[in-house]
């Protein structure tokens, strides 16, 4: 099994434990928090399902909602088989609950996609199982998983199967570019010169041939390559043939060579970028440590989820320690393997460090129906216990039940934060959720550089809730809130990108050894 494969399996396990609580900006009735709204409000409306009060009230009186209220997440009895009729009941329940509880419902196609998937599953059940005694639980999981493949959401789980894509950088070492004094890109022999405006560099886009920066012998260099997105199903198919680490493909590259004033093309053989080849950190027992190496303060932050009282103390200490770091010339912040949690600690750290109120440059919408609140609360109780769950829900003013399901969006734009301290942030593809919010916050601060790989790209649909299908007891985990970039481009499965692509050994050698 390749290192990247092992890493992906670790991610699947970690995400099952992840909660994103982005909750600092309350919504008050008639006073939505929308400041500096540069986003397209009409486009935003198209990304959420528009409920009527009548249809919600009808759903609240339905048998499916009554069943939802009776679900016990602690049940351990999971049948190996169920009858055809029970399977049909589960499918009807599944799609009804998703429509009224899942924040990504409209984002991933709404009625058109979800009802089509529902119809295909029911048709397959009728064709293959109506005249049989039973259908196995695994067969039903496979059917649902296959037909929900249009969902790209790394917080959505069907049992232990994730429905979000993973993006991996593939590059070629045939050409190595540096930047000249004019900002253009040239090879060492100066035979190829590409003008800066004619090629993209390190942009969060898949399937676009770009130049990608790394550090080689102390120098910034750029390799041509493509960030490719893979669904879980595609990764499974690849792994049946070859380890993803050994996967290669070719790409025709057409470019204008200003050195010769000619239009040229080259066939590139692309393979997984070396940045993924250095192994991955195991989750640590202590989620926060502040140490000093070579005279530089080093913060290690492996989680933002306070599952125990000790975790809460450590995260509060993390935020408080920022006051003691304000006069440092340089700080290293290592958030590799940070699987997320609550963004309040990061924003607390930044406020204490800069002295400024920090806002996330994200549009936030909480789906506020009785069913979304129910699945969210059930998951909180399961993860944190009744008391802590109530505290979390009380913080989320947006979870007050709305007659039409959605309150106004929350959005406060963030100007670049002034900062004189050199801050190095270390990331990898284990970082997700609120960990990615961490990266997003630091992108809004001056004098910050980020090293590693792309993060997983799991922050679009957060604040996860959970339920079970009533008969098969198949578990569902999905988000009840949307967190969108201001340009409304969905980058789920792409993640936040580093400024420089480096593997773990290179990171340790440059900054930690």
Sign of CA dihedral 88, 92, 93, 95: positive
pLDDT at residue 301, as a whole number: 95
Domain 1-163+276-513 has CATH 3.90.226.10: yes
Tokens 């201001």 found at: 486
Question: In angstroms, how far is CA 261 from the centroid of its own chain?
Answer: 42
State the pLDDT at residue 224.
Answer: 98
* Alpha helices, H only, 71-195: 84-101, 110-129, 137-147
Write down the pLDDT at residue 158: 97
Say what the pLDDT of residue 387 is.
77
Q: State the pLDDT at residue 402.
A: 82
Question: Which pLDDT score is estimated for 246?
Answer: 82
3-state SS record for 255-300: EEECCCCEEEEEEEEEEECHHHCCCCCCCCCCCEEEEEECCEEEEE
Q: How far apart are CA 226 and CA 238, in angstroms?
A: 18
The series of mean pLDDT values per 10 residues for the chain, 513 residues long, is 47 43 34 50 91 96 95 87 96 98 98 98 94 91 96 96 94 96 92 92 96 96 97 82 82 93 94 83 81 95 86 94 96 93 89 84 90 91 78 66 85 83 96 89 93 95 94 96 91 96 93 89
pLDDT number for residue 397: 54
Locate the domains of the chain by residue range: 1-163+276-513, 166-275
Helix %, strand %, coil % for the chain, to 5?
35, 25, 40
| 197 C-beta neighbours (distance < 10 Å), count | 7
Note the pLDDT of residue 284: 66
pLDDT (0 to 100) of residue 275: 92
Q: What integer pLDDT is reported at residue 412 of this predicted model? A: 73
Residue matched to tokens 């049989």: 132
Instruction: State the distance between the two ends of the chain, measured CA to CA, in whole angstroms.
Output: 28
**Are the C-beta atoms of 380 and 393 separated by less than 8 Å?**
yes
Q: What is the pLDDT of residue 15?
A: 43
């Amino acid at each position: 099994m390749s290192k990247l494969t092992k890493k992906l399996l670790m991610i699947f396990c970690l995400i099952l434990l992840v909660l994103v609580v982005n909750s600092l900006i309350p919504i008050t009735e008639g006073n939505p928090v929308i400041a500096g709204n540069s986003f397209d409000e009409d486009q935003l409306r198209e990304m959420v399902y528009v409920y009527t009060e009548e249809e919600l009230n009808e759903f609240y009186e339905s048998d499916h909602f009554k069943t939802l209220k009776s679900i016990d997440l602690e049940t351990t009895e999971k049948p190996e088989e169920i009858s055809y009729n029970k399977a049909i009941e589960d499918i009807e329940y599944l799609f009804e609950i998703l429509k009224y509880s899942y924040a990504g419902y409209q984002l991933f196609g709404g009625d058109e996609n979800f009802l089509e998937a529902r119809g295909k599953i029911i048709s397959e059940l009728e064709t293959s199982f109506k005249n049989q005694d039973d259908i196995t639980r695994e067969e039903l999981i496979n059917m649902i998983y296959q037909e929900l493949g249009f969902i790209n959401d790394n917080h959505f789980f069907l049992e232990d199967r994730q429905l979000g894509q993973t993006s991996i950088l593939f590059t070629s070492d045939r050409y190595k570019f540096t930047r000249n004094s004019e900002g253009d890109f040239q090879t060492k022999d100066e035979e190829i010169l590409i003008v800066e405006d004619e090629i993209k560099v390190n942009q969060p886009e898949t399937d676009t041939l770009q130049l990608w920066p790394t550090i080689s012998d102390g120098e910034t260099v750029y390799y041509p390559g493509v960030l490719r997105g893979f669904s879980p199903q595609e990764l499974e198919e690849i792994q049946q043939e070859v380890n993803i680490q050994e996967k290669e493909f070719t790409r025709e590259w057409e470019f204008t060579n200003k050195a010769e004033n000619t239009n040229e093309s080259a066939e590139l053989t692309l393979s997984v970028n070396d940045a993924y080849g250095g192994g991955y950190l195991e989750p640590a027992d202590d989620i926060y440590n502040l140490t000093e190496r070579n005279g530089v303060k080093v913060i290690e932050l492996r989680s933002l989820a306070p599952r125990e009282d000790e975790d809460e103390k450590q995260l509060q200490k993390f935020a408080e320690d920022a006051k003691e770091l304000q006069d440092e010339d340089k700080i290293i912040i290592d958030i590799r393997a940070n699987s997320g949690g609550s963004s309040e600690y990061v924003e607390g750290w930044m406020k204490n460090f800069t002295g400024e109120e920090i806002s996330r440059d994200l549009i936030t919408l909480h789906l506020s129906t009785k069913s979304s609140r129910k699945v969210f609360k059930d998951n909180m109780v399961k993860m944190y216990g009744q008391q802590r769950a109530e505290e979390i829900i009380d913080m989320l003013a947006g979870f007050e039940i709305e007659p039409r399901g959605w309150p106004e969006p929350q959005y406060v734009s963030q100007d670049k934060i002034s900062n004189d301290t050199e801050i190095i942030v270390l990331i990898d593809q284990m970082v997700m959720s609120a960990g990615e919010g961490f990266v997003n916050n630091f992108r809004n601060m001056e004098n910050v550089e980020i090293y590693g790989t792309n993060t997983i790209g799991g922050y679009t649909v957060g604040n996860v809730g959970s339920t079970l299908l009533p008969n098969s007891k198949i578990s569902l985990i999905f988000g009840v809130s949307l967190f969108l970039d201001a340009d409304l481009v969905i980058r789920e499965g792409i993640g936040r990108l580093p400024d420089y692509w480096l593997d773990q050994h290179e990171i340790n050698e440059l900054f930690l050894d």
